[in-house]
Amino acid sequence: MYPPRADCTTREDDGTLVAVTKGNVIYTLIITSRRNGETVYQRPSA
């Protein structure tokens, strides 16, 4: 997985961090695929 670039990382109004990488969208502790929107990884406490 490619690391998120600083210019592709934003903070939502509720404090959630969203980072876009080459193949994934990372929400605070949840990673989803950009291709199909399926959850790739979710931390159990998220």
What is the residue extent of each domain of the chain?
Answer: 6-42
Per-residue pLDDT of the chain (46 residues; tens, 9 = 90+): 667 788 888 888 887 888 888 888 877 778 889 899 998 888 776 5
**What is the model's pLDDT at position 20?**
87
> CB of 19 within 8 A of CB of 39?
no
The pTM score is 0.56
The pLDDT of residue 1:
60
What is residue 30's predicted lDDT score, i.e. its pLDDT? 82
pLDDT of residue 2: 67
Query: Taking Cα atoms as reference points, which of 29, 9, 28 lies closest to residue 19?
Result: 9
Say if CB 45 and CB 28 are below 8 A apart.
Answer: no
